[in-house]
Amino acid sequence: MANTNQTGRNRVLVSGAEQALNRFKLEIASELGLDYNGDKGNLTSRQNGYVGGTMVKRMIEQAERQLSGQ
């Protein structure tokens, strides 16, 4: 998917990262029992925020594990 953001803030820095993050997003939504199906318009703002917040929490946990050598 091409980046159409005109501000340049959300540009892809790592090739393949966008697809991996989309898969991660679907995985988190599924674990939370939300029917995401790739269309965040089907969810409320609160549900979308919960998915994003959970993604960030898990990424921070993973980074902390890597930094501690686990």
Q: What is the pLDDT of residue 12?
A: 73
Domain coordinates in residue numbering, the chain: 17-68
Cβ neighbours for 59, distance < 8 A, ≥ 6 positions apart: none
Q: What is the pLDDT of residue 7?
A: 60
Q: What is the pLDDT of residue 1?
A: 46
pLDDT, tens only, 9-68: 777 788 888 889 889 988 999 999 988 776 667 788 898 899 999 999 999 999 999 999
Structure-token pair, residue 63: 């980074």
Contact 48, 41 (CB under 8 A): no
